[in-house]
Amino acid sequence: MAPDPGDLAIIGAGPAGMSAALEAAGLGLSVTVIDEQPAPGGQVFRAVEAAAADPALTGEYAKEGAALARRFRAMPGLDYRPSTTLWHTDLETGTLSLRGPDGGATLRAQRILLATGAQERPVPIPGWTLPGVMSAGAAQILLKQAGAVPKGRTVLAGQGPLLWLLAVQLFRAGAPPALLLETSARGALGGAMRAGGLWNGRAMLAKGGLMMLEARRAGMKVVRGTRGLRAEGDGALRGVSWEGGSTECATLLLHEGVIPSTHIARAMGLDHHWDAAQLCWRPALDEWGASSHDRVAVAGDGGGIGGWQAAAQTGALAALDTAHRLGRIGAAERDRRAAGHRHLLASALALRPFLDRLYAPAPDVLAPRDDTTVVCRCEEITAGQVRQAARLGATGPNQAKAYLRAGMGPCQGRMCGTTVAALIAETRGLSMEEAGALRPRAPYKPITVGELAEL
């Protein structure tokens, strides 16, 4: 059994987790940071210490990202545990079960902060399980982690700022994508402009515009309003087709934005609600990131998509509130210290309503129209099978498990959970809230019997 509990255990060493750790340790709290990756940065600043000098990865990554990782590394007294997976939590006692490079371990903490970040929204199209099809984020991670770029003709498909950023990065790395199949609805821009925030978010907007310009100058063709995407091939990707066109490619990179990574939060039983603007589940949080369980807070994109600048601020706010709850600072001091963070948070979020409207995924990203589309990659269950289960009586993703094995494979529904719920909601005429979120169980990641015995 672990000795005396520490003050704060942070799950994730991305911008939210690192900022929270710095703020909390700066206030004298004992802090442990658990992260699955071998080095700090999270997904957005993945491998930033090793890759900041890569000329393909300039900008925020090389500057702000590297600086944050440096401060994190330099902070004295932090118990930082890289390459470590959290697989179970006992919320009653605050006991975390971990698997690290040296085997299993347990840890106790008075307060737990989930800074688990975002994952890419699954893009279930026919053929997306073929080798050669990956998420756009995966290609970006390969660039950051190994300096690697796709070989041969590359096509990007979907929408969102990350696709344009990736296009520019691949171009700078000597592997420009040939084509972007953009899925944004025609007329989305007009609707998005009415969402406002353009003036306050103008710096971010300008950066986005420059990126688009650079990608176009590099020769990337763009097809707008793409519908009916299919990855074509037999055993390996051969090309991509859409309504009105097709082309050969060696690599197809899909992206429809990011959603909060809520797997652990849902397994812990925290309250969640369906965010109709961002079309994803997010945990119910107060203005400090405190969840429905009084031991647990959530910060960063795991609590709702806001990007890394917002994540850094929500991480700091959750740390301040932790210090307050543990009696280290009074409410007045907490609020005083929070003011600057709240100001930065507001400006980081200014452009969000515009982006959410502009890049709202089409309905068939959530619930694929083509019944042959595999939605559960692990158990190879199709959209048609889920619709059939819904007609037979499955009223939500948790019930669908009894009819199919969707959500019971190794990924435990991380990929298919929302798609299954959306298909059931559509078939039965329910809201997403009524269909409900998949409730995963521990272990959050499969572990071996041997690892269990080690504890």
Among 55, 103, 340, 393, binds other proteins (CB under 8 A): 55
Cα 97–99–101 angle (5° rounding)? 150
Show the binding pattern over residues 285-324: x = contacts other proteins (CB under 8 A), - = does not.
----------------------------------------
Residue span 14-53 as binding mask against other proteins, x where in contact by CB under 8 A, dash where not: ----------------------xxxx---x---x--xx-x
Question: CA 261, CA 305: separation in Å to the nearest integer?
Answer: 10
Q: Which residues are registered as beta bridge partners of 252? A: 133, 155
Told to check if 344 binds other proteins by CB under 8 A, we report no
CA distance 320 to 324: 6
Mind spelling out the 3-state secondary structure of 322-337?
HHHHCCCCCHHHHHHH
Burial 224-248 (b: 16+ CB within 10 A, else e): eebeebbbbbeeebbbbbbeeeebe
Query: What are the structure tokens assigned to 32, written together?
Result: 């442990």
Minimal distance in Å, beta carbon 273 to other proteins? Answer: 22
Q: How far is the CB of 49 from other proteins (least distance, A)?
A: 8
Give the SS3 label for residue 396: coil
Quote the least distance from Cβ 207 to other proteins, whole Å.
Answer: 24
Give 304-327 as a DSSP string: S---HHHHHHHHHHHHHHHHHHTT
Region 66-105 residues binding other proteins, contact defined as CB under 8 A: 83, 85
CA distance 86 to 98: 5
Q: Give least dist CB 141 to other proteins, A.
A: 4
Using the rule CB under 8 A, which residue among 409, 421, 425, 438 binds other proteins? 409
Q: Could you say which residues in the range 226-285 bind other proteins, by CB under 8 A?
A: 235-236, 250-251, 261
- C-alpha dihedral sign at 349, 10, 319, 41: negative
Site string for other proteins, 163-202 (x = CB under 8 A): ----------xxx---------------------------
We find the least distance from the C-beta atom of residue 158 to other proteins, in angstroms, to be 14
CB of 50 to other proteins, least distance (A): 5
Q: Least distance from C-beta 34 to other proteins, angstroms?
A: 13
Cα–Cα distance between 157 and 181 in angstroms, integer? 5
Rule CB under 8 A: which residues touch other proteins? 36-39, 43, 47, 50-51, 53-56, 83, 85, 119-120, 129, 131-135, 137-138, 141-142, 145-152, 173-175, 235-236, 250-251, 261, 377-380, 409-411, 414-415, 441-443, 445-449, 452
